[in-house]
Structure 1
Amino acid sequence: MLSIRIATRRLVAELRELLSMPPLWWSALYFFCLLTGYYVLRPVRDAMGATSEVAAVFPAGVVEWFAERGIALGEFTLQVLFTLTFLVMLVIQPAYGALVSRYARRVFLPVIYLFFIACLVGFYFIFDSGMSGRGVLFFVWVAVFNLFAVTVFWSFMSDVFDNVQAKRIYGYIGAAGTIGAVTGPSITRLLAERIGTANLLLISAALLGLCLFCIIRLRWWARQRERERGERGGQDFAMGGGVLAGIRLAFREPVMRAFAILMFFGVGVGTLLYNEQAAIAQRFYPDSDARTAFYAGIDLAINIVSLSIQLLLTRSLLNHLGVARVLLLPPLAILAGFALLTASPVPAMVALVQIVTRAGEFSIGKPARETIYTRVSPELRYKSKAMIDTVVYRGGDLSFVWLHKLLAMGGSTVVFGAGIVTALGMGYGAWRLGRTQAALPEGRNPETGTATAAAT
């Protein structure tokens, strides 16, 4: 009890100190609105992906075309949706690269969010009309929206805060997002049957409008940080560079290659665990209500654990252990979890490892990675980061979805055994990233404007 009181006093003192940092509160509001808006949409997306009404997901003509060739499209709904999402990511990447290269951030950041808002208004009319094939459009769009909107958010945070500030406050910003992740589904659950799915899309659009307002308010601090770094005014001038520079830089720069390795295998462990969790839950909980309760309990625990770590531990871990060591914590925990699951693939153990995996990602892994982006060039922050967070992410998702289908024929032990190998790959990526980020400049001294060496 004494330790809890001490931790609470420290938290209160920390929050009082942070009240003097307006950019933190605007950033927290921004991330809260962004994830609330996304999690309002996510249950709608998941319902479309899981529906038995194939005509609601795919256009009637496409369903008929496959049926004529003896293929029941409904049996491959998720595989088709994931594949299409990856292909769309590939197509969008050059368009995003062109936007970032040719327009200043004060232009392209609002344009991205205005585009998403316009899409939601369009989907409002599509859902209201009950158009056939709306499911595939909405599922793919939500996946694109989630990855691009979140990666743009963290890229912008790297403009607003330096490395020292990021280690102090990214946990708190993440906590605001976690609260949004709880608020969004609550809004959907409360209002879906009362106002209808189409009107929920307008609520999400309004929340994105608030994100746009936060971007405008944060622009002053982003310009201030540019002056301290000695960077050319990216808020007001185009970045330049090639449209496909994000892909080229991801392969050329050692730190970005390490990011890509960590992302690919990190997505892999999550995908293997998620898919095998579904199979185990179906086996142990044949009743759908019991299965729903099982999932709900996991989600609740993930949010509680994530929020607790974000508020109480993230700052201390980043400042006392350093980024390199913190990056290794999630893969080590996952490696231990998969080893236990190989020996005992039961629901309680799956739930425990899922909680550790996702809570560790939200509260430790993500903040540690994002602090590194405060120390790289704007082109790496906006172009290469977007490529890794979208194309590499979805490429890993797609690869391990099909790999799981193959491994599942050997049972849970085989899946989790492969998970151990994947976790080792994730650990290698974290180790590489820890080593390469140590060579980056730590930041700039606000008083002298000179670069300081990285702390190992």
Structure 2
Amino acid sequence: MADEHAQRDDGTPGAARLSLLDRVLRVFADVRAGEGVTAALLSFGLFLLLASYYVIKPIRDSLITGLPKGAEYKSWMGAAIAIALLGAVPAYAKFASSVPRNKLLLWVTAFFVSNLVGFYLLGVLPFTGSGVGQLLYVLGFFLWVGVFNMMVIAQYWAFANDIYTEEQGKRLFPLIGIGASIGSAVGSMVLDTSIKQLKKSAEQEGRSGTAVIAPLLLLAAVILAASAVIALWVHSRESRGGRAKPEEAKQDAPKEAESKEGAFRLVLSHRYLLLIALFSLVFTLVNTNSEFVKDVLVKAYAAELGGGDEAKTATIRTELFNQFYLWVNLLGAFLQSFVVSRIVKFFGLRRAFFMLPFIALLDATTIALLPVWGIVRFGKIAENATDYSLNNTLRNMLWLPTTRRMKYVAKQAVDTFFVRAGDVGSAALVFLFSDRLKLGVRAFAITNIALIGVWLVLARLIVVENDRMTKQGAIKQKTVT
């Protein structure tokens, strides 16, 4: 390591030799001399973070769907989460403005770890096993997960943005994103194995309700804490190794004029940030509409294949969903590992940013013309896999030219509140189109076609602004008039 550091710090990175790790990682991305260790650590930290979340997410879904009227509660909680974020985001922004990044990472993660321990302790109490106690516990946990998962993932990517220059980020973010793809799958497998053992133990001991799955929250807490340890290791390594970005020292305790702005005001007062926020809202609206259509088509296709047998239909429906997510995860992992870095390298952000909306447009058009799951599933698999791999990487690259405060504070507002606002907008459309007007999936597909037009316009404006900022080398505040 000492030799590697010396090679990186001598001012002639081009003369440095690639380490064995650097060479191995070059299979996945354009890793240069001395960059392998930090990139691998960041990818591993993201792996742990997503593994933790995918232990928690199925627990959340299982708890709320087990309630009477669970589906209704689930749709209503989207609005509740958006309201909660109106308070959580400003609180995070205030804290982020007062501490350096290592303390921000430590204390925010410690807060969420302590929350998981608290939910475990509540979950083993008899009061939360049934009745009103169970309802309050499940809704509270669902609300908490909706805030937690968006905030910690946004913070981790903000940290990665803070570590790298724009040029490095464009090369290395595809590699870091591999950790997320693998972590999601591993977290699901860990949960599947653990919950079988817990159910067997619970049956022997006569336990039921939340007490059965509560111990899994401790497992998630340990994995989440480990992700913070990795992030702090990266912070220490980069700070000690003298590889901090030139502007880092000046921005560690923000003194710039924008440090006085709240998270939402910061987003609304800068053209580039506002464009990203609007894009996130519209993109999420399209995506959530598409997910609703997917669920409707799968249900109808399973009913057709089941021939009126409810048990057979339920089994077919489960198999269809499992097959869909399997192919999405496999294709997404392949794209993230071997394709995304090459697309970014050869096409750049300017062209790559338009790939997903065109796939989504083709998918929506197919649904509008022939809404049959046996046909549209191929387009939906391609759309979701591209979203989870290429689009997720590109969305995080958008923040590379921004200031540190924008990375940590504005990104929280965009990746939490504005994304969740898109979910709320989709829920409103479901209520209007499906519940009130009794329209079919074609109405959602046609709506998505129109929304994708808006998405393409916003994407064009974003890449133009991104190019301008990249050429200037530093972001300029641009107040919206």
TM class by shorter chain equals: 0.7 to 0.9
Q: Deviations over 1:238-257 (max 9, x none)?
A: 56755652211212212112
Q: Deviations over 1:344-380 (max 9, x none)?
A: 1111334223322221122111212222312111121
Q: Deviations over 1:70-126 (max 9, x none)?
A: xxx657312221121111111111111111111221212111100110000001111
Shift of the alpha carbon at 1:155? 0.2
Report what 1:161 is aligned to.
164
Report what 1:4 is aligned to.
none
Counterpart residue identity of residue 342, structure 2: S
Counterpart residue identity of residue 149, structure 1: V
Report what 1:26 is aligned to.
41
Shift of the alpha carbon at 1:424? 1.5
2:279·2:458 contact (CA, 8 Å) conserved in 1?
yes
Counterpart residue identity of residue 286, structure 2: V
Report what 1:150 is aligned to.
153
Shift of the alpha carbon at 1:127? 1.4
Report what 1:45 is aligned to.
60
**Does 1:329 find its partner at 2:355?**
yes
Match of 2:455 among 402, 426, 435: 426
Which is further off, 374-383 or 164-173? 164-173
Which sections of structure 2, spanning at least 5 residues, go unmatched?
1-22, 199-211, 304-312, 476-481
Q: Deviations over 1:406-443 (max 9, x none)?
A: 22321111111111112222222211111110111369
- SS at the partner of 1:391? helix
Q: Tell me the number of residue pairs that the alignment of Structure 1 and Structure 2 aligns.
A: 417
Shift of the alpha carbon at 1:320? 1.5
Report what 1:172 is aligned to.
175
Shift of the alpha carbon at 1:338? 0.4
In structure 1, distance between residues paired with 2:25 and 2:122:
47
In structure 1, distance between residues paired with 2:423 and 2:287:
9
Report what 1:199 is aligned to.
215
In structure 1, distance between residues paired with 2:406 and 2:386:
25
**Does 1:374 find its partner at 2:400?**
yes
- SS at the partner of 1:322? helix
Match of 1:99 among 87, 95, 101: 95
In structure 2, distance between residues paired with 1:327 and 1:165:
18
- SS at the partner of 1:285? helix
Report what 1:253 is aligned to.
270
2:181·2:336 contact (CA, 8 Å) conserved in 1?
no
Q: Structure 2 length normalisation: TM-score?
A: 0.82
**Does 1:35 find its partner at 2:64?**
no
In structure 2, distance between residues paired with 1:272 and 1:199:
35
**Does 1:139 find its partner at 2:142?**
yes
In structure 2, distance between residues paired with 1:249 and 1:225:
30
Which sections of structure 1, spanning at least 5 residues, go unmatched?
1-9, 55-72, 445-450
Counterpart residue identity of residue 162, structure 2: D
Assess, with a 3 A threshold, how the Cα gap between structure 1 residues 375 and 222 changes in structure 2: closer, same or farther: farther
2:94·2:262 contact (CA, 8 Å) conserved in 1?
no
1:163·1:443 contact (CA, 8 Å) conserved in 2?
no
In structure 2, distance between residues paired with 1:187 and 1:243:
43
Report what 1:284 is aligned to.
301
Counterpart residue identity of residue 103, structure 1: V
In structure 2, distance between residues paired with 1:104 and 1:217:
15
In structure 2, distance between residues paired with 1:19 and 1:141:
42
In structure 1, distance between residues paired with 2:419 and 2:168:
27
1:38·1:146 contact (CA, 8 Å) conserved in 2?
yes
**Does 1:14 find its partner at 2:40?**
no
User: After the TM superposition, which segments of 4 or more aligned residues of structure 1 sit over 6 Å from their partners?
Assistant: none
In structure 2, distance between residues paired with 1:193 and 1:218:
36
Counterpart residue identity of residue 201, structure 1: L
- SS at the partner of 2:470? coil
Task: Kindly report the root-mean-square deviation, in angstroms, between the aligned alpha carbons of the 2 structures.
Answer: 2.3
